[in-house]
């Protein structure tokens, strides 16, 4: 009997794989996924090459107080906030001037942005996984196949596990082949440098995508075990998919904005202009009241006052904005799609946490450069930034998002099992 259990399970797995291979649904889904992934890889690879060429033009020359990062090669798969992080930050006595830096040279992107790997998995592959799972129980109940299988003394646990594993392999194997082939082709270009760390991050990103796909497959089978007709389960799942992937992440951000009062960027700029106008007017009045011998001290004192007040305003803004981001992320995590995006972009180095850390490093760089500028020195130390390690990313929220995705997987599969145990196959 112990030897028969794996054999029965493997028989069910092979049955599901063969059924998928003979189904038009499988070929349409795989063809669509392949076209989308290869199109995304090709277009974003060309976009990365263009931004890399821009970086060679705007990169800081030796001694220039400019902080600018090259585009992240993993942005080909998870673009995230890479364009914002790759902007040029020029340090001066009056603050930090932000320039566009590297942007896509194709203006058509503004109208028809190409979805990256993360977006395709989040939207398309989650829907495909639901289409593979929505009729696994209800359709076979309608056709009588399920009743026939149970009449042969096959346990419901083996049937459910075999169905899940067979459909997951049908989805994941083609997906992995296409993804790894695309990565290998991009890696042939010597200008696209994937370090050992970047390659490890990429494989973790793919693993996260597989967990996310498995989650929606489990959800599909769970809902299928709750309904008696495949059409009913499809309608319910489409509603859940739309709410989970689109509505909850956007609604969470709107709710957070109502709870945390963060001034707009325009309002912050206007306050900064008011500070400049006030201090400049006071400086002019003081210079008129004194002779030229005190002019240097007057200018320095007012510049120091401006920098202190602007730094305080920016710090207050960042603290409020950070609270808004934390609250938004916590609300959005009710949707596994949000956790998937947070985990993958942070692993790729293009997430919110990495951008926030970069800004902190730029502010520290400004504080180290300002004394040189005040002394009139034209040379400044070069800006250097190291992305967080995988361990740091996991410790600062990435592990929570991955665990949350695994929890949803276990939850939906367990609920599907309990629903299937009580399912009436007559």
Instruction: Answer whether residue 318 is part of any domain.
Output: no
Q: Which residue has the higher pLDDT, 203 or 280?
A: 203
pLDDT at 264: 64
Instruction: Answer whether residue 325 is part of any domain.
Output: no
Instruction: Answer whether residue 73 is part of any domain.
Output: yes
pLDDT at 265: 61
| Least-confidence region, from 24-33, 77-86, 202-211, 249-258 | 249-258
Q: Which residue has the higher pLDDT, 259 or 213?
A: 213
What does the alpha-carbon distance between residue 4 and residue 348 come to, in Å, rounded to a whole number? 44
- Strand, helix or coil for residue 380: coil
| Residue 289 in this model has a pLDDT that exceeds 70 | no
Beta bridge partners of 90: 66, 97
Token pair of 235, please?
Answer: 């309608």
Instruction: Answer whether residue 293 is part of any domain.
Output: no
| Residue 426 in this model has a pLDDT that exceeds 60 | yes
- Strand, helix or coil for residue 272: helix
Q: Are 416 and 160 in contact (CB under 8 A)?
A: yes
What does the alpha-carbon distance between residue 288 and residue 265 come to, in Å, rounded to a whole number? 35
| Long-range interactions of 297-301: CB distance < 8 A, separation 24+ | 300/374
Instruction: Answer whether residue 301 is part of any domain.
Output: no
Binned at pLDDT 50, 70 and 90, residue 3 comes out as: very low
Beta bridge partners of 66: 90
| Residue 372 in this model has a pLDDT that exceeds 70 | yes
| Residue 188 in this model has a pLDDT that exceeds 80 | yes
What mean pLDDT, rounded, does the chain reach? 85
Q: Which residue in 169, 274, 214 sits closest to 408, CA to CA?
A: 214
Q: Rounded mean pLDDT of 417-425?
A: 86
What does the alpha-carbon distance between residue 159 and residue 165 come to, in Å, rounded to a whole number? 10
pLDDT at 409: 95
Diameter of the chain measured on Cα atoms = 104
Domain that residue 167 falls in: 4-258+338-421
Q: CA of 273: how far to CAs of 277, 310, 319, 362, in Å?
A: 6, 10, 21, 22
pLDDT at 1: 41
Instruction: Answer whether residue 314 is part of any domain.
Output: no
| Residue 240 in this model has a pLDDT that exceeds 90 | yes
pLDDT at 249: 87
Overall number of domains in the chain? 1
Instruction: Answer whether residue 205 is part of any domain.
Output: yes
Residues 6+ apart with CB under 8 A from 196: none
Q: Rounded mean pLDDT of 195-206?
A: 94
| Least-confidence region, from 51-55, 224-228, 252-256 | 252-256
Residue with tokens 């990495």: 354
Instruction: Give pLDDT tens digits for 316-344.
Output: 777 777 888 888 889 999 999 999 999 99
What does the alpha-carbon distance between residue 234 and residue 218 come to, in Å, rounded to a whole number? 14
pLDDT at 141: 79
What is the value of pTM for the model shown?
Answer: 0.88
Per residue in 85-124, is it b (16+ CB within 10 Å) or e — as a string? bbbbbebeeebbeeeebbebeeeeeeeeebbbbbbbbbbb
Instruction: Give pLDDT tens digits for 387-414.
Output: 999 999 999 989 999 999 999 999 999 9
Instruction: Give pLDDT tens digits for 141-186.
Output: 777 777 887 777 778 888 899 999 999 999 999 999 999 999 999 9
pLDDT at 369: 85
Instruction: Answer whether residue 149 is part of any domain.
Output: yes
Which of the given ranges, 103-107, 207-211, 274-278, has the highest pLDDT on average?
A: 207-211
| Residue 211 in this model has a pLDDT that exceeds 60 | yes
Residue with tokens 């990365």: 48
User: What is the CA 181 to chain-centroid distance, rounded?
Assistant: 22
| pLDDT more than 90, % of the chain | 45
Q: Rounded mean pLDDT of 228-240?
A: 91
């Amino acid at each position: 009997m112990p030897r028969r259990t794996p054999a029965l399970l493997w028989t069910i797995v092979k049955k599901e794989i063969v059924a998928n291979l003979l189904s038009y649904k499988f070929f349409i889904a795989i063809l669509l996924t392949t076209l989308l992934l290869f199109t995304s890889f090709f277009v974003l690879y060309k976009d990365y090459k263009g931004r890399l060429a821009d970086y060679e033009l705007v990169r800081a020359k030796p001694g220039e107080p400019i902080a600018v990062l090259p585009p992240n090669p993993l942005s080909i798969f998870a673009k995230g906030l890479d364009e914002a992080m790759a902007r040029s930050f020029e340090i001066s006595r009056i603050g930090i001037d932000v320039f566009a830096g590297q942007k896509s040279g194709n203006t058509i992107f503004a109208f028809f942005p190409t979805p990256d790997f993360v977006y395709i998995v989040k939207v398309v592959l989650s829907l495909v996984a639901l289409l593979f799972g929505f009729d696994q129980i209800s359709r076979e109940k309608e056709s009588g196949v399920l009743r026939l299988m149970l009449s042969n003394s096959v346990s419901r646990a083996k049937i459910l596990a075999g169905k899940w594993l067979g459909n997951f392999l049908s989805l994941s194997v083609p997906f992995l082949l296409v993804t790894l082939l695309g990565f290998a082709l991009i890696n042939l270009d010597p200008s696209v440098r994937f370090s050992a760390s970047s390659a490890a991050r990429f494989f973790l990103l793919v693993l996260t995508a597989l967990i996310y796909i498995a989650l929606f497959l489990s959800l599909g089978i769970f809902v299928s075990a709750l309904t008696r007709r495949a059409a009913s389960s499809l309608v319910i799942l489409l509603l859940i998919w739309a709410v989970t992937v689109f509505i909850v992440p956007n609604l969470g951000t709107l709710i957070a904005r109502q709870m945390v009062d963060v001034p707009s960027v325009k309002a912050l700029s206007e306050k900064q202009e008011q500070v400049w106008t006030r201090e400049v007017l006071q400086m002019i009045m003081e210079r008129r009241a004194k002779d030229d011998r005190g002019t240097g001290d007057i200018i320095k004192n007012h510049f120091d006052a401006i920098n202190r007040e602007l730094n305080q305003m920016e710090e207050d803004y960042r603290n409020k904005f950070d609270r808004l981001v934390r609250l938004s992320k916590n609300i959005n995590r009710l949707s596994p799609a949000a956790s998937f995006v947070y985990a993958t972009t942070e692993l790729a180095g293009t997430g919110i946490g990495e951008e926030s850390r970069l800004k902190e490093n730029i502010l520290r760089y400004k504080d180290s450069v300002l004394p040189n500028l005040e002394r009139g020195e034209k040379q400044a130390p070069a800006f250097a930034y190291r992305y967080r390690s995988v361990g740091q990313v996991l410790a600062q929220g990435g592990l929570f998002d991955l665990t949350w995705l695994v929890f949803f997987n276990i939850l939906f599969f367990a609920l599907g099992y309990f629903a299937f145990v009580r399912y009436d196959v007559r």
